[in-house]
C-alpha cells in the first residue's frame, strides 16, 4: 500500500444513522442526535481490521449534493478532493425511496461505493419485504444490512470495506431519461475536459443544474454553452432543466423501488405512522407540543425543588465553613473574595445544577425518541402559514439547549434569507443558561402551583416573539426565494438509557465546566468591580452610629430594627461607591420604568458575558458586606427586596435582551459581518426594553 491510508467516507441523509455507524466502526464517542445537521463539522476516526488500517470520515448528512448549502458542498468536496477509496452510503432502508436520491448523486460522481442498508430492524418491524439481491443486481452495488444503533452488521461492513469490495459507479438514471435530457448530457460532456467519462458526465449534469461551483471552474464559453442547452430544455419542456434532472432521478428510483420492495397490506400503517397520525395531526399537533413542554417544566420543578434545597444548604455550609477559617469580624480581602466572589458567584450558579440536569434529561428523552424531529414538522405547517420556511425551526429547537450550536445548525438552511432570519431570532429560544435565572426568580415569588406554568409562558413568549420577528425580517429585510421543505421523520425509538444519560451528562457537564471556568473568572472580576473602590469612611461612620444605638437604652426590638436598617444603608452606600455600583446608579433612571433598581441593572449588564452571570452577580451583590452573618438564601433576599411583578420583568428582560457574548461572536462568524451581530445585539435589547416596559407598567396599573 502507498503512504496514503485506506480511506472510507460515510455519506447519507441526516438521521440515516451515519454517526451511529461511525461510532460503532471506530469506537469513538460522538453525539448522536435526531436533528438533521447536528454533524456540521467533519469527523474523522480510525479502525483496524484484519491487519488493515482504515481511516473513516463522517460526512455531514445531506439529501442532495448540489452546491445549495454549505453542508452539501462540504460533503461533495471531501469526496472530490480527497478521493476516499470507498464511499459507504448509509441508507435508512425503511425509507428507501427518499434515501436513494442521494445515492443517485453519489453514483453520478463515479465513486467506489458500498451501500449500508441501515435501520434494518425498522424494515423488519414494518414488514417491508425488501429484496436486497435484486437491489444489488439493479444498481450493480454491494449491500450490507446494518443496525447502526445496536452495532449489527458492522463486522460484515468492515469485511466489505477491507476486502475493497466497493464497485465503481455510473449514473444509472441517465439511460432511462427522456431523449432531450440524455442528448443534452452527452453533447455537453463531449465538450468538457475531465479525468474520465463519468467525471465528464457528472460535470455536464451539474452544469445543466446550473451548479455555481462547477460553473466557476469551467471556461466561460462552456458555461455559456451549458446555459444555452439548459434554456433550450426549459423551453421544450416548460420546467427548468434542474427540475427535469431531479424528476428523471426520481422516476428511476420509483421504478427501482417498485421492483425491490413489496409492501404487505398490514405493513402500511406502522406503529410510528399510527403515533404520527395523532402527534403530527393538523389540529392537535401544536397543543400536544405545548402539553409536552408543560410536562417538561413541571417535571423539572417537582423533582428539582427538593434537590435545589439540598444544593443551597450545601453551599451555605461550605460558605460558613470557609468563613470559619478567619476570626469572626475579620475584614480580610481574601476571605471576602472567596466567600462572596467565588462561593457566592459560582455556588449561586451550581445550586441550579439539579434543575439543569433534569431539563436536559427531559430534552434528551424527547430528542432520542424521535419526537423533537416531529416538532419541526408540526411547526412547519404554522411557519408556512406565516410565510416562513419550516426547516428554520430545526436549528431553533437546538436553541433550547444553547444558542451557539443553534446558530451553527442554520448551515443546513439552503438560502441566505432563511439562514439570516433564523440566526437573528435564534437567541429568543430560551437556552439552558437562562434556565437558572427562572429557577432563582420563580420560586422566590410564586407559589408552587404557578411555577411550571410560568416557565412555560416564558418559553412560549420567546417562541412567539421569534416567529413574529422572523416573519417581519423575512418579509421586509431578507426577501428572496423560498426553497421547498423536505423534512424526514425518523421512526420512533424507545430511547436507550445509556444514550439518554450520556446526552444529559454531556450537557450538564458543560454547565459545570462553564461554572468552573468562565463563570468563575467573571465572578471574580465582577466581585472586584463590586467591591472597589472602597470607602472605609462609611463603614466607620456607621459603626459609630450602630454603637451609639446599641448603647442608647431603647427597647431591644427597636435597637435591633434600627441596627438592621443602619447596616442595610451602610451596605448600600459602600456598594454605590464601587465601579458596578456607580454604573448601576448611572443607568438606574433608564431602567427604573422596567422595575429594575441599580443592583438588578448591574446583574443584567453583567449577564451579557454569559446569561448565568445574572444569577451569580445577584449572589455577589447580595452577599457583599455580609459574609459574617448567618445569611439567608438569595431567594429569601429577593423576596424581601422585590415584588413578583419585578421578578417577572427580570425574567422577560433576561430572555429577550442582548444575547451572550458567545452568541454575538457566533452571529458575527456565521453572517460574516459585525453589522448583523450588532443589529442583533441592539435590536433585541431595544425589543426587551419595550416588552418589559409595557409589561411592568401595565402590571403596575393592574396591581
Ligand atoms: P446521522 O444523522 O446519520 O448521523 O444519524 P445518527 O447516527 O445520529 O442516528 C439517528 C438516530 O437513529 C439515533 O437516534 C440512532 O440511535 C438511531 N439509529 C441509528 N441506526 C439505527 C438502526 O439501524 N435502527 C434503529 N432503529 N435506529 C437507529
Ligand atoms: Mg450524524
CA distance 135 to 121: 18
Which residue is closest in CA terms to ligand 1's atom 19?
17
Q: In the structure, what pLDDT confidence band is assigned to residue 37 with cuts at 50, 70 and 90?
A: very low
Q: What is the share, in percent, of the chain residues with pLDDT greater than 70?
A: 90
Measuring CA to CA, how many Å separate 546 from each of 534, 540, 571?
20, 10, 13
What pLDDT is stored for residue 146 in this prediction? 97
Q: How far is the CA of 360 from the centre of ligand 1 (A)?
A: 20
Helix residue ranges per DSSP H, 324-432 = 333-336, 348-350, 353-369, 371-385, 393-398, 403-409, 416-425
Which grid cell sits at 690? Answer: 419595550
Judged against a pLDDT cut of 90, whether residue 135 lies above it is answered with yes
Average pLDDT for residues 211-237, to the nearest whole number? 91
Q: Is the pLDDT of residue 535 over 60?
A: yes
The more confident residue out of 396 and 426 is 426
Looking at residue 458, what is its pLDDT? 94
pLDDT at 543: 75
Taking only the tens place, the pLDDT of each residue in 670-699 is: 888 899 999 999 999 999 999 999 999 999
Stretch 44-55: mean pLDDT:
90
What the block records as the C-alpha cell of 379 is 411547526
* 37 within ligand 1 shell (Cβ under 6 A): no
Please list the residues that pair with 263 across neighbouring strands.
Answer: 128
Does 118 sit in the ligand 1 pocket, CB within 6 Å? Answer: yes
Q: Which among 409, 389, 421 has a CA at the least distance from the CA of 37?
A: 409
**Distance in angstroms (rounded) separating the CA atoms of residues 190 and 173:** 19
Q: Which residue has the CA at smallest separation from atom 12 of ligand 1?
A: 17
CB atoms within 10 A of CB 588: 17
Atom of ligand 1 nearest to the CA of 491: 26
Distance 119 CA to ligand 1 centre (A): 7
Contact 242, 210 (CB under 8 A): yes
The alpha carbon of 415 and the centre of ligand 2 are apart by a number of angstroms equal to 22
> What are the distances in angstroms from CA 479 to CA 388, 471, 527?
11, 10, 46
How much is the average pLDDT of 574-584?
82
- Nearest residue (by CA) to ligand 1, atom 8, is 32
From atom 14 of ligand 1, which residue's Cα is the shortest distance away?
A: 368
Q: Is the pLDDT of residue 7 over 70?
A: yes
CB proximity list for 233: less than 8 A, separation 6 or greater:
180, 181, 184, 208, 241, 244
Q: Look at residue 479 in the predicted model and tell me its pLDDT.
A: 74
How far, in Å, CA of 441 to CA of 646, rounded? 10
DSSP string, 86-97: EEEEEEEGGGHH
- Nearest ligand to the CA of 503 is 1
Q: Is the pLDDT confidence value at 539 over 90?
A: no
Q: Please state, for a pLDDT cut of 90, what percent of the chain lies above it.
A: 32
| Number of other residues whose CB lies within 10 A of the CB of residue 60 | 26
What does the alpha-carbon distance between residue 622 and residue 571 come to, in Å, rounded to a whole number?
9
**Average pLDDT for 234-259:** 86
Pick the atom of ligand 1 nearest to 36's CA.
Answer: 2
Specify the pTM.
Answer: 0.63
The answer to whether 454 and 442 are in contact (CB under 8 A) is yes
- Please state, in angstroms and rounded to a whole number, the distance separating the CA atoms of residues 106 and 202: 10
Q: In angstroms, what is the span from residue 22 Cα to ligand 2's centroid? A: 9
**Is 675 in contact with 702 (CB distance < 8 Å)?**
no
Q: Of all protein residues, whose CA lies closest to atom 25 belonging to ligand 1? A: 119
Q: Which atom of ligand 1 is nearest to the CA of 147?
A: 23
Scored b (16 or more CB within 10 A) or e, 660-694 reads bebbbebbbebbeeeebbeebbeebbeebbebbbe
More confident residue, 526 or 490: 526
Eight-class DSSP state of 127: T
Task: Compute the distance from residue 372 Cα to the ligand 1 centre, in Å.
Answer: 14
**By CB neighbour count within 10 A (0-12 exposed, 13-18 middle, 19+ buried), where does 275 fall?**
middle
Q: What is the mean pLDDT of residues 333-350?
A: 83
For ligand 1, atom 2, the nearest C-alpha belongs to 15
Chain-centre distance for alpha carbon 355: 19
**Most informative mutation of 17, 94, 153 for ligand 1 (most atoms within 8 A of CB):** 17
Tell which wins on pLDDT, 109 or 380: 109
Ligand 1: distance of its center to the CA of 411 in Å? 21
pLDDT for 12 equals: 94
Per-residue pLDDT tens for 436-476? 999 999 999 999 899 999 999 999 999 999 988 988 888 88
- 632 in helix, strand or coil? coil
211 closest CA partner among 107, 78, 104, 65: 65
> What number of CA atoms fall less than 13 Å from residue 461's CA on the CB side?
20
**What HEC string does 411-452 produce?**
HHCCCHHHHHHHHHHHHHCCCCCCHHHHHHHHHHHCCHHHHH
How much is the pLDDT for 265? Answer: 44
pLDDT interval class at 643 (50, 70, 90):
very high
Q: pLDDT band at 86, cuts 50/70/90? A: very high
Whether 650 lines ligand 1, by a CB cut-off of 6 Å, is: no
Shortest-distance atom of ligand 1 to CA 496: 16
Atom in ligand 1 nearest the alpha carbon of residue 33: 8
51 Cα: distance to centroid of ligand 1 (angstroms) = 29
Going by C-alpha positions, the residue among 403, 367, 394, 350 that lies closest to residue 663 is 403
Say which ligand is closest to the CA of 364. 1
Pairing label, strands 143-145, 6-12: unpaired
Please choose from 20, 58, 115 the residue to mutate so as to test ligand 1's pocket, defined by most ligand atoms within 8 A of CB.
20
E strand residue ranges, 596-687: none
Residue 319 is predicted with a pLDDT of 84
C-beta of 39 in contact with ligand 1 (< 6 A):
yes
Instruction: Please name which ligand lies nearest the alpha carbon of 14.
Output: 1
Q: Return d(Cα 544, Cα 392) in angstroms, integer.
A: 64
Q: Is 105 in the pocket of ligand 1 (CB under 6 A)?
A: no
Residue 98 corresponds to which cell in the numbers above? 427518499
What ligand 1 atom has the least distance to the C-alpha of 118?
Answer: 23
**Mean pLDDT over all residues of the chain?**
84
Ligand 1 touching residue 69 (CB < 6 A): no
Q: Are 414 and 338 in contact (CB under 8 A)?
A: no
pLDDT for the residue 628: 43
- Whether residue 121 has its Cβ less than 6 Å from ligand 1: yes
Amino acid at each position: 500500500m502507498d503512504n496514503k491510508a485506506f480511506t472510507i467516507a460515510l455519506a447519507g441523509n441526516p438521521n440515516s444513522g451515519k454517526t451511529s455507524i461511525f461510532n460503532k466502526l471506530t469506537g469513538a464517542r460522538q453525539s448522536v442526535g435526531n436533528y438533521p445537521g447536528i454533524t456540521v463539522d467533519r469527523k474523522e476516526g480510525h479502525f483496524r481490521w484484519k491487519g488493515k488500517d482504515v481511516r473513516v470520515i463522517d460526512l455531514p448528512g445531506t439529501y442532495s449534493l448540489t452546491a445549495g448549502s454549505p453542508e452539501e458542498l462540504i460533503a461533495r468536496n471531501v469526496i472530490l478532493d480527497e478521493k476516499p477509496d470507498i464511499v459507504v452510503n448509509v441508507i435508512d432502508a425503511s425509507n428507501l425511496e427518499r434515501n436513494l436520491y442521494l445515492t443517485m448523486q453519489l453514483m453520478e460522481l463515479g465513486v467506489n461505493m458500498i451501500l449500508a442498508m441501515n435501520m434494518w430492524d425498522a424494515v423488519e418491524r414494518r414488514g417491508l419485504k425488501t429484496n436486497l439481491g435484486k437491489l444489488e443486481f439493479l444498481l450493480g452495488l454491494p449491500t450490507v444490512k446494518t443496525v447502526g444503533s445496536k452495532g449489527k452488521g458492522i463486522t460484515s461492513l468492515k469485511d466489505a470495506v477491507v476486502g475493497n469490495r466497493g464497485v465503481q459507479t455510473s449514473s444509472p438514471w441517465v439511460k432511462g431519461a427522456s431523449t432531450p435530457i440524455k442528448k443534452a448530457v452527452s453533447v455537453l460532456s463531449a465538450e468538457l475536459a475531465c479525468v474520465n467519462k463519468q467525471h465528464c458526465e457528472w460535470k455536464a449534469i451539474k452544469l445543466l443544474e446550473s451548479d455555481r461551483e462547477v460553473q466557476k471552474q469551467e471556461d466561460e464559453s462552456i458555461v455559456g454553452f451549458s446555459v444555452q442547452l439548459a434554456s433550450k430544455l426549459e423551453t421544450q419542456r416548460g420546467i427548468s432543466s434542474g427540475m427535469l434532472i431531479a424528476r428523471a432521478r426520481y422516476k428511476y428510483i420509483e421504478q427501482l423501488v417498485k421492483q425491490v420492495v413489496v409492501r404487505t397490506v398490514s405493513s402500511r400503517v406502522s406503529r410510528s405512522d399510527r403515533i404520527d397520525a395523532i402527534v403530527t395531526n393538523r389540529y392537535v399537533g401544536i397543543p400536544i407540543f405545548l402539553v409536552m413542554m408543560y410536562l417538561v417544566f413541571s417535571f423539572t420543578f417537582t423533582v428539582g425543588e427538593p434537590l435545589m434545597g439540598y444544593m443551597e444548604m450545601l453551599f451555605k455550609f461550605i460558605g460558613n465553613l470557609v468563613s470559619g477559617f478567619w476570626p469572626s469580624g475579620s475584614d480580610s480581602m481574601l476571605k471576602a473574595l472567596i466567600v462572596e466572589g467565588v462561593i457566592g458567584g459560582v455556588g449561586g450558579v451550581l445550586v441550579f445544577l439539579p434543575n439543569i440536569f433534569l431539563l436536559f434529561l427531559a430534552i434528551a428523552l424527547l430528542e432520542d425518541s424521535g419526537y423533537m424531529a416531529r416538532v419541526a414538522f408540526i411547526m412547519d405547517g404554522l411557519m408556512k402559514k406565516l410565510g416562513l420556511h419550516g426547516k428554520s425551526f430545526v436549528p431553533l429547537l437546538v436553541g433550547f439547549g444553547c444558542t451557539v450550536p443553534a446558530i451553527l445548525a442554520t448551515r443546513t438552511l439552503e438560502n441566505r434569507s432563511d439562514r439570516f432570519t433564523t440566526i437573528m431570532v435564534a437567541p429568543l429560544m430560551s437556552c439552558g443558561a437562562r434556565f437558572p435565572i427562572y429557577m432563582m426568580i420563580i420560586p422566590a415569588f410564586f407559589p408552587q402551583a404557578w411555577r411550571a406554568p410560568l416557565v412555560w409562558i416564558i418559553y412560549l413568549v420567546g417562541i412567539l416573539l421569534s416567529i413574529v420577528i422572523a416573519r417581519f425580517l423575512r418579509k421586509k429585510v431578507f426577501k428572496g426565494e423560498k426553497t421547498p421543505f423536505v423534512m424526514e421523520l425518523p421512526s420512533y425509538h424507545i430511547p436507550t438509557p445509556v444514550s439518554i444519560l450520556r446526552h444529559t451528562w454531556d450537557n450538564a457537564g458543560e454547565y459545570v465546566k462553564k461554572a468552573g471556568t468562565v463563570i468563575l473568572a467573571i465572578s471574580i472580576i465582577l466581585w472586584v468591580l463590586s467591591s472597589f473602590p472602597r470607602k472605609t469612611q462609611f463603614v466607620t461612620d456607621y459603626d459609630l452610629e450602630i454603637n451609639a444605638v446599641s448603647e442608647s437604652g431603647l427597647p431591644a426590638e427597636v435597637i435591633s430594627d434600627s441596627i438592621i436598617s443602619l447596616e442595610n444603608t451602610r451596605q448600600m452606600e459602600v456598594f454605590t461607591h464601587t465601579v458596578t455600583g456607580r454604573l448601576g446608579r448611572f443607568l438606574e433612571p433608564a431602567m427604573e420604568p422596567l422595575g429594575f433598581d441599580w443592583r438588578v441593572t448591574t446583574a443584567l449588564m453583567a449577564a451579557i458575558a454569559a446569561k448565568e452571570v445574572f444569577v451569580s452577580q445577584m449572589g455577589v451583590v447580595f452577599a457583599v458586606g455580609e459574609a459574617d452573618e448567618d445569611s439567608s438564601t438569595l431567594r429569601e433576599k429577593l423576596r424581601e427586596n422585590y415584588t413578583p411583578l419585578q421578578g417577572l420583568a427580570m425574567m422577560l428582560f433576561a430572555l429577550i435582551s442582548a444575547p451572550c457574548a458567545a452568541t454575538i461572536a457566533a452571529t458575527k462568524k456565521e453572517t460574516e459581518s459585525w453589522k448583523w451581530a450588532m443589529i442583533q445585539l441592539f435590536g433585541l435589547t431595544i425589543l426587551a426594553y419595550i416588552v418589559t416596559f409595557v409589561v411592568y407598567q401595565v402590571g403596575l396599573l393592574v396591581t
